[in-house]
Structure 1
Amino acid sequence: MTSVSNGGDPRHRRRLETRIKDDLRRVHAQLGLLNRQVGARLRIKDADLECLDLIAAHGPIAPKELAGRAGIHPATLTGILDRLETAGWIVRERAADDRRSVAVRTRPERLAEIYGQFAGMNDAMDELCAEYSPAELELLAGFLERVGRAGQMATAALAR
């Protein structure tokens, strides 16, 4: 893609790109506030809720892989997993073929509590998405996927 498609005004394009970046920062901040509210209602710390979300998305998962995905030191992760296990959100299981290997998984019966807290946001997103055509949703989904990959690459570069 060129910086100016279809002969458009380059200044207008830069303003739009800046607006997108600014809006993504605002969305990030707002979702952080939402997560803190949910965490407070469920008595789960921010980092714990983030790890719980990663476990739900990628579990069962080895603690080492979870630490990498969360960008958390393994010793810090141990404390998070201890709190989540004590509160009944997760289970640590030993692998049948390697007793030294541990996998972490969520307790599905508890996840409904979290989903209930996000119901208002999910309903709002359903209403918002209903305003877009399937083609527009494909474009938005692709854009957000690429934003996520760009974030992963930027994070990896900073971690080096």
Structure 2
Amino acid sequence: MRRRTRESMRMGENDLRALRFLLKRQAEGEPVTPAELGALLKLKSSSVTVMLDRLTVAGWVTRRPHPSDRRSLVIIATPGADEEVRHTLEAMHRRMLEAAGDLGEREAVVVREFLGRMSIAIGALDRSDGAP
């Protein structure tokens, strides 16, 4: 889904991660600084600047003065960015729900059990060093 959203919006993985983070924080009423984005994405300041320049030109974000720190900026996702992400994900979610709704009861049980086992297996990787 992330790949399709990125392709639809013509952006890279870090661009989409940054945008999703901005949208989440905005919904929580929390401002986001370029330094926070850099820490989240493990990017140097110069790389964050290049990414923000690209997202600004594309119309996905704007930069504004920080409300309490005159030396800093906050990054705001534009309403168009929020609408585009929602539109793209809603269409995908709708198709996924339709596919799930087509499953019979026995098929749904098998799929739930399989996904539960996969979740446990992936969770175990998160707790280890990732080696097979």
Name stretches of at least 5 consecutive residues in structure 2 with no aligned partner.
Answer: 109-115
Once the 2 structures are TM-superposed, how far is the Cα of residue 67 of structure 1 from its aligned partner? Answer: 1.1
- The match for 1:103 is 74
TM-score by length of 1: 0.54
Tell me the matched-pair count: 108
Higher percent of residues as helix: 1
CA RMSD of aligned residues (A): 3.1
1:47-58 aligned at under 5 Å gives the runs 47-58=14-25
Is structure 2 residue 8 aligned with structure 1 residue 37?
Answer: no
Q: What SS class does the counterpart of residue 88 from structure 1 fall into?
A: coil
* Structure 2 residue identity aligned to 1:54: F
Rate the CA distance shift 1:37–1:96 in 2: closer, same or farther, 3 A. closer
Instruction: Normalising by structure 2, report the TM-score.
Output: 0.64
Matched residues in 1 for 2:56 and 2:2: separation?
20
- Structure with more relative contact order (C-alpha pairs < 8 Å, separation 6 or more): 2
User: How far apart, in 2, do the equivalents of 1:100 and 1:84 lie?
Assistant: 22
Structure-2 change in CA distance of 1:96 and 1:54 (3 Å): closer
1:63 maps to which of 20, 31, 34: 34
> Could you tell me which residue of structure 2 aligns to residue 79 of structure 1?
50
Give the 3-state SS of the residue equivalent to 1:98 in structure 2.
coil
Q: Percent identity?
A: 26
